[in-house]
């Protein structure tokens, strides 16, 4: 058994949506370290995307601006990928949004944007990239799709983020259904459910990591290595027999603790 090749992503081409910062950027760093030849990233903010490209190198990271909460943005990204590549080995649907508002004031615009970006976007982007993924799956290994959900789709958090929690629970079930269909095309679909990682989505972990860590059984927030390792496992040969599963990466919050619903800042995503 060759452990090096078991976890290698040598020569593979990947796309990470929302790849310019936070958890998306952690995925990018891990994919490159594992051997991906090119990682495409999408984001709405071109300046943030360019910073990530500059950090890792334009020969390895290619940016495509896109707003994936809109169907024309999904189509634009899919068209750009089809023009640039004849196959896609890895797709990580990471772009997401959250919206917090009092129950009696929660508005439709926040609901729709969250659902469109978190649930509708991953489904239709994967659909529109189907031919590229099929081509990737014919290159000696299955193509991989990872939908990024959240522990907030597995438990109740203390904030009034109704659409976010519903959307992330939806992503987990959507992953199962997509996996059942796409495996026949040699495309493996899984999900990663992050816990507390420093990001714009999880400002508590970013700005008060010690307070967040106090509510996590492992007593720390997640590191870039934790998130990169989960993606490398699922995307490599090591994860080829894991289909439709959600890998929870949260230091034990969901499965090894009793959450304090009124004081727990260790949200996911």
Q: Give the residue numbers annotated as catalytic, written as ranges.
A: 164
Output DSSP code: residue 25.
H
Contacts of 187 (CB under 8 A, 6+ apart): 130, 133, 134, 136, 137, 142, 143, 144, 145
| DSSP string for 140-169 | SS-EEEEEE--GGGTS--SS--HHHHHHHH
195, 249 contact by CB (below 8 A): yes
Q: Quote the CA–CA distance of 21 and 36 in Å, as a whole number.
A: 19
What phi-psi label fits residue 98: left (phi over 0), alpha (psi between -120 and 50 degrees) or beta?
beta
Tokens standing for residue 247: 């890998």
Q: In 3D, which of 61, 85, 74 has the Cα closest to residue 136?
A: 85
Handedness of CA 231, 26, 80, 96 (dihedral sign): positive
């Amino acid at each position: 058994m060759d452990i090096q090749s078991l976890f290698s992503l040598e020569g593979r081409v990947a796309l990470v949506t929302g790849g310019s910062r936070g958890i998306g950027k952690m995925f990018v760093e891990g994919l490159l370290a594992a051997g991906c030849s090119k990682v495409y990233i999408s984001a709405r903010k071109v300046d943030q995307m360019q910073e990530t490209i500059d950090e890792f190198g334009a020969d390895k990271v290619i940016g495509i601006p896109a707003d994936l909460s809109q169907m024309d943005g999904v189509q634009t990204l899919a068209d750009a990928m089809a023009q640039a590549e004849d196959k896609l080995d890895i797709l990580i649907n990471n772009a997401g949004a959250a919206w917090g508002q009092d129950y009696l004031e929660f508005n439709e615009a926040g609901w729709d944007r969250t659902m469109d970006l978190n649930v509708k976007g991953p489904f239709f982007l994967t659909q529109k990239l189907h031919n590229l993924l099929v081509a990737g799956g014919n290159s000696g290994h299955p193509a991989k799709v990872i939908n990024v959900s959240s522990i907030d789709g597995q438990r109740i958090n203390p904030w009034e983020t109704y659409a976010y929690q519903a959307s992330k629970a939806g992503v987990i079930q959507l992953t199962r259904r997509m996996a059942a269909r796409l495996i026949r095309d040699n495309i493996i679909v899984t999900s990663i459910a992050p816990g507390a990682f420093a990001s714009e989505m999880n400002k508590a972990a970013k700005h008060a990591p010690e307070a967040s860590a106090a509510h996590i059984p492992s007593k720390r927030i997640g590191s870039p290595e934790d998130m990169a390792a989960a993606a490398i496992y699922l995307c490599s040969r090591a994860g080829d027999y894991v289909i439709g599963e959600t890998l929870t990466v949260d230091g034990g919050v969901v499965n090894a603790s009793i959450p304090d619903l009124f004081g727990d800042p260790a949200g996911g995503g």
